[in-house]
Structure 1
Amino acid sequence: MSEKIYIERESKVRLWFEMWLQKENKGIENIFSESVIYIESWGPQYNNLSEITYWFNEWNQRGTVKKWDILEFTHNKDKTFVEWKFFCEMNNGEIQKFDGVSIIKWNELNKIIYLKEFGCNDDTYNPYKEERKIKKYNWF
């Protein structure tokens, strides 16, 4: 595949993250196909563009994404892998912070047809040291 296609894909992913940071739909329909499947790292699954749009609007009334930094893109034919860091605060004061990876599959129109997130605890530690961090996690 050409470098131009990969640059366009990266641009769409950056726009998706930016929309969350700005709480503004700047064209979800230009990023995702109508029949997209989107799976969040702790289980929720959205089965089409309409559900993703509803989720985006509804979630942004309950919380604010404070940080969603892209660390790296890796491309392989019709797939893109994105490593990122995420931080959000819910209106009730709950804070969520974790690292993640998204596996993204693209169609021939360069729209996302499948996206699956994987989360990773960002509070790492050496399990063989005496001092172990004890912390409750919502989904780890």
Structure 2
Amino acid sequence: MDKKEQIIRRYFDSWITGEVSVLSETFAENAVYVESYGPLYRGLDAIIKWFDNWNEHGSVLEWKILRFIHSSETVVCEWFFKCVYDEKKEEFNGVSLISFDSKNKITQLREFYSKLPNYEPYR
């Protein structure tokens, strides 16, 4: 398995296990993370604070990677996400654009999501 794919899988799994130490191993100190609905976290400390705070309110039930697309130092990752946050269940599809530095640390991660269920308005 590709090294970058392993890093991404381990990071996604950390949301299910709550293993915060994975973040320090995965992200560069100056990493930027943009969530699918707008919040931006600048720097490893902010990413860790967000992770800890989010996990106080919710739990990730599933974060399944559907496929990877590689382009130089950037990986595109398509996924399905399911969680419970403040007692509300949510699930959606998404895509992440993930950039790495020469040490295989994530320098930027941008998420985009697609609301579920999908529907066909002209059918």
Coarse TM-score class (shorter-chain normalised): over 0.9
Percent of aligned pairs with the same amino acid: 36
- TM-score (ref. length: structure 1): 0.84
Residue identity in the other structure for 2:51: F
One of 51, 74, 92 as aligned partner of 1:56: 51
CA distance in 1, matches of 2:21, 2:14: 6
Residue 105 (structure 1) aligned with residue 96 (structure 2) = no
CA distance in 2, matches of 1:105, 1:35: 12
Residue identity in the other structure for 2:42: N
CA distance in 1, matches of 2:20, 2:87: 24
Residue 24 (structure 1) aligned with residue 19 (structure 2) = yes
What are the Cα deviations for residues 15-37 of structure 1, in whole angstroms up to 9, with x where unaligned? 11111001122321111000000
What are the Cα deviations for residues 53-88 of structure 1, in whole angstroms up to 9, with x where unaligned? 111111101000001000001111010000000000
Alignment partner of 1:27: what SS? helix
Q: Which has the higher strand share?
A: 2
Larger Rg: 1
Moved more, 68-77 or 6-15: 6-15
One of 102, 107, 123 as aligned partner of 2:117: 123
In the alignment of these two chains, the number of paired residues is: 123
Shift of 1:106: 0.7
Higher RCO, Cα 8 Å, sep 6+: 2
Which consecutive residues of structure 2, in runs of 5 or more, have no partner in the other structure? Answer: none
- TM-score (ref. length: structure 2): 0.95
**TM-align CA RMSD:** 1.1
